[in-house]
Amino acid sequence: AGGAGGAAGAGGGMSPAALLSGMTEKTPLHVTMATSRTELVLRLLSLGLLGYFVYHLMSAGGGKGGLLDGLTKGFNEESEIPDVRFEDVKGVHEAKEELASIVDFLKHPDKYTSLGGKIPKGVLLTGPPGTGKTL
């Protein structure tokens, strides 16, 4: 029940040999892919669920907080200058003097560069927690 001479196949369409029999190199070939409504509904539903998930991830269920809350924090706020002085620092007197000389150099670099000093790229303070490294 299905010879090669253009008989209908199982789906009611023509056989590949019958389709290709009338084609030449100059004949354009048009292919149309049909999608079912079920596939379309499933794609839209999955896209909607993804959008819902991303929305709740960004807003963390509404209100303050969320994935981007930490990234935007500080852009709209003015930074507070700490009210800590060298007199508040406890510890080794020599370390405080060295730190004071670094601060003096940062405030008045021309005084040191005129003597041939090189400007440092930064200062690395080390020590256990709570020893005043982040003055």
Residue 39 reports pLDDT greater than 50: yes
Residue 68 reports pLDDT greater than 50: yes
Residue 54 reports pLDDT greater than 80: yes
pLDDT of amino acid 50: 95
| Mean pLDDT score, 29-58 | 86
pLDDT band per the 50, 70, 90 thresholds, residue 47: very high
- What sign for the dihedral angle of Cα 19, 24, 25, 27? negative
Higher pLDDT, 29 or 65: 29
